[in-house]
Amino acid sequence: MLDLVIRGGTLVDGTGRPRRTADVGVSDGRVVTVGRVDEPATETIDADGALVTPGFVDIHTHYDGQATWDPRLQPSSNHGVTTIVMGNCGVGFAPVRPSDHGQLIELMEGVEDIPGAALHEGLPWDWGSIDEYLDALERREHDIDFATQVCHGPVRLFVMGQRGADREPATAEEIAEMGRVVAAGIRAGALGFTTSRTLNHRTSRGEPTPTLTAARAELVGIARALGETGAGVLQVVSDFPDYDDETETLLEMMRVSARPLSFSLSQGRAGTSYRHLLDLLTRARREGLTMRGQVAARAIGVVMGLQGSVNPLKGSATFRSIESLPLAELVARLAEPAVRVAVTSELGAADGRALGLDMVFELADPPDYEPDPVDSIAARAGRAGIAPVDLMYDLLLGDGGRALLYWPVLNYADGNLDAAGELLEHECTVPGLSDGGAHVGTICDGSFPTTLLAHWGRDRTRGRKFEVEWLVQQQCRSTAEALGLRDRGILAPGYKADINVIDFEHLGNARPRIVFDLPAGGKRLLQQAFGYLHTFVSGVEIARDGEPTGATPGRLVRGSQPDSVG
């Protein structure tokens, strides 16, 4: 008898092949039959009229702390994700000496906007080495599978001490030791090595990340040591301040290691400069190097509100004098005419430009992540004949002060609504950059997989759209392959039974909400999805109709995984 049969669904199997009606049979956590399944099963799911897809693989998250205290890796597990990869951007918590706990928390708090108080209370610190960190993760139960990578920041601090944190040049001996530590982490089961080279990444004290100015010799030396293991990938986030020099560094890391490399890729305020990096991907492929761009499913935007980390009223001294009030009392005070006049006059900017309100939008329910510039707060206020700051003020008081505004920062330059699509369709890019588990008070992009499928495969009315089969392939098999996880991302005999059953017509995102459920009462943005009827990890149902079942079949994935064709 099979453990599970999903019967009569529209199968989109992750290979990119056309959809078809098929049953899926599961036993011992693996798919054993696809097609017509006549065997009896302990559980049968009627999937008539629904899409049946592999579970989504999210390769760019930051659950490094949360995974040590929380069995539910949400928001990702709310959005059909069955495998996450953390340890990105060179920030993490291993290796570490007890004396350096505080510095790694400051680094994670500043770079990834995770409350320091939550990290101080939540992290058990029952590890020192990377191997011990993996063991600690493996001892805990989780709803979905997860893997991690070796992070340059902790490695530099561990090997170089304060000199590493202060961004001093590494000696040849220190580079060799960093390479040894990284290689040991890969052999222990980490999937790759990650580093940050962007000024956007700073500690909570405002200091640049320790890896910002690491020399080419350091990065290439570490890459060479990783390559000697015959495993692992490389991941980089960079400002590309000197394009030619930086691209040569990345190419040399790949040449000496013979390992794949990916970097974060989006459209900034410079308009079309991202196309130079698309050209780099093509050039690397011609050289026989596997280089990928990790790209977002939509604009990357800041979520703002009275309870958010970013609150546009904080520019007012009057507001700051009352902001510590409980939310209901705060909203009542803000509604008083005298307080309103004081706050709006202190904010000034009657035309909205100083506050950037020509690029800020109301985040409705359901949210529109590709808003038309004519719907900006400044544009709406102009049509209504009122000051933009007054409209912003009114919107922020909505829903009892829980209303949210949306400021698209990347993939939205000059109202370009098609940059994300151009990046998604390039042959050398994969979906990524959701930052699940991070930016908990400012960004809520763990819902990228839901947006990818619903928006680009169904809802989009202007510009390019994509076939659902290709989108599923990109979010499942292509992402899994990019990190060497070849045992998942396809629904075929022998592969892992990570499965979504989706009501595609109703698939979508609710508006994010702020909750205070982190350790020490820390806040975070969570976002519910609609349309996920069933989500299975290794054949065990972790969610039904969007609600968790409480099951925790998720496991730490150690190292790359081979194809599992049965």
Quick one: average pLDDT of 271-300?
94
Position 533 confidence tier, pLDDT thresholds 50, 70, 90: very high
Closest listed residue to residue 327, CA positions, set 396, 402, 393: 402
How much of the chain is in helix, strand and coil states, percent to nearest 5? Answer: 35, 20, 40
Cα Rg of the chain (Å, integer) = 24
Does position 335 have pLDDT exceeding 70, yes or no? yes
Q: 176 — alpha (psi -120 to 50), left (phi > 0) or beta?
A: alpha
Q: Are 466 and 424 in contact (CB under 8 A)?
A: yes
Q: What was the pLDDT predicted at 270? A: 66
Token readout for 86 is 């953390």
The predicted model gives 355-377 an average pLDDT of 94
445, 296 contact by CB (below 8 A):
yes
Name 160's Cβ contacts closer than 8 Å, sequence gap at least 6.
168, 170, 174
pLDDT digits (tens, 9 = 90+) for 537-564: 999 999 999 999 999 999 999 999 999 7
Please enumerate in sequence order all residues whose Cβ is within 8 A of that of 16, keeping only pairs 6 or more positions apart, or say none.
Answer: 469, 470, 473, 477
CA 560 to chain CA centroid, Å, is 20
Residue 98 confidence (pLDDT) above 60: yes
Please say if the pLDDT value at position 189 is more than 80: yes
- 271 pLDDT higher than 70: no
pLDDT of residue 135: 98
Q: For 393-407, write each residue's pLDDT tens digit.
A: 999 999 999 999 999
Query: What pLDDT is recorded for position 349?
Result: 53
Q: pLDDT for 194-230, tens place per residue?
A: 999 999 999 999 999 999 999 999 999 999 999 999 9
- What would the mean pLDDT of 22-43 be, rounded to a whole number? 97
- What is the rounded CA–CA span in Å between residue 193 and residue 90? 8
Please give the average per-residue pLDDT across 151-179, as a whole number: 98
Could you give the C-alpha distances from 172 to 70, 157, 163, 184, 218, in angstroms and in order? 40, 16, 14, 18, 8
End-to-end CA distance of the chain: 18
Confidence of residue 353 (pLDDT cuts 50, 70, 90): low
Per-residue pLDDT tens over the stretch 40-65: 999 999 999 999 999 999 999 999 99
In this prediction, residue 233 has a pLDDT band, given cuts at 50, 70 and 90, of very high
Residue 564: predicted pLDDT: 76
Domains and CATH numbers, the chain: 57-299+413-482 (3.20.20.140), 302-410 (no CATH)
User: Which residues are 145's β-sheet partners?
Assistant: 83
pLDDT value at position 415? 59
d(CA 523, CA 339): 27
The per-residue pLDDT for range 406-449, each reduced to its tens digit, is: 999 999 986 556 899 999 999 999 999 999 999 999 999 999 99
Q: What is the pTM of this model?
A: 0.96
Question: What pLDDT, on a 0 to 100 scale, did the predictor assign at position 566?
Answer: 56
Displacement of CA 233 from its chain's centroid (Å): 18
CA distances from residue 117 to 106, 122, 303, 437, 471 in whole angstroms, order as listed: 10, 8, 21, 15, 38
Question: Is the peptide bond prior to 312 cis by the omega test (within 30 degrees of 0)?
Answer: no
Long-range contacts of 329-335 (CB under 8 A, 24+ apart): 330/306, 330/401, 331/306, 331/397, 331/400, 331/401, 334/393, 334/397, 334/401, 335/397
pLDDT in tens, 477-508: 999 999 999 999 999 999 999 999 999 999 99
- Residue 268 pLDDT: 87
On the question of pLDDT at 118 being above 90, the answer is yes
Eight-state DSSP code of residue 441 = T
* 440 DSSP 8-state letter: T
pLDDT of residue 355: 75
Q: In the predicted model, what is the mean pLDDT of the chain?
A: 96
Mean pLDDT confidence for 509-518? 97
Q: What is the pLDDT of residue 246?
A: 97
pLDDT, position 190: 98
CA distance 196 to 112: 12
Counting residues of the chain whose pLDDT is more than 90, the rounded percentage is 95
Mean pLDDT of 60-72: 98
**Cβ(233)–Cβ(239) under 8 Å?**
no
What integer is the mean pLDDT of 102-109?
97
